[in-house]
Amino acid sequence: MSQGLARRKTLRAFGKGLGLKAAASGECELLGAALTHDSYAFERGDRRGLSANERLEFLGDAVVGLAASAWLYARHPDEPEGRLSRRRQALVSGPALAKTAARLGLGPMLRLGKGEAAGQGERRPSILAGAFEALVGAVLVLEGYDAAARFVERSHLAQADDAARIDPRTALQELVQARFKQPPRYTFEGESGPPHARVFRAHVAAGGVVGTGTGSTKKQAQAEAAAQALRKLTRQTVNLP
């Protein structure tokens, strides 16, 4: 069996498992493109990256944002625009999309350049998030917006209740500002790990408590630190006489 035929058979089985009948039929060209990183395309002479997933990612990004907005609008009829916006930001963030991509098994299906593959690019949140958006873009091209939005709802939004919660940094900001009339203060305590897998450490001081956190980005480290500070402040409130 040729390498190309084997790849198509794998793509068909994978696509059908996700319920993507159109994308998993025939030559699976768009499904294959959605799962091809630009590093792989560039290594094969496609300097414009037209056979990679960046153009599909561009489409999918718009669909994910609109689908998330409509989903939140229907589920939270009593919330103001500002709070809905923060929920949407959490839902469409890179880490949230990467988590869904990993759960769907996109990582092992990705075609990566040698450098990205050696650096375990299939686990990198930015690459996983982009692949999910590209997959959504492929569904949009083949089946239209309604089908793409349904795919986003069933594969991501319906599974992402935790991500729909307000970002812990925002929640901490609102709580501390209201209670202590001053914002939290964040500092970074350093970073470690190889260049392709950096780990950042953050510290936050808020309302007399401190929180620490780590993450693959400074934003993630801050969020973990904020979540820890929030838990401490909440316990303080509960224990008040």
Q: Which residues are catalytic?
A: 61, 133
Q: Which of 92, 164, 91, 94 is nearest to 129 (CA)?
A: 94
Burial of 40 (0-12, 13-18, 19+ CB in 10 A): buried
CB atoms within 10 A of CB 52: 25
Contact 190, 212 (CB under 8 A): no
How far apart CA 177 and CA 174 sit, in angstroms, is 5
Extract the tokens encoding 70. Answer: 């409509």
Report the DSSP pairing between strands 185-192 and 209-215. unpaired
DSSP 18: T
Enter the tokens of residue 59. Answer: 């489409």
Gap between the Cα atoms of 91 and 89, Å rounded? 6
* 192 CB-contact burial (10 Å; exposed 0-12 / middle 13-18 / buried 19+): exposed
**Burial of 102: CB neighbours in 10 Å, binned 0-12, 13-18, 19+:** middle
Strand order in the sheet with 199-206: 185-192, 199-206, 209-215
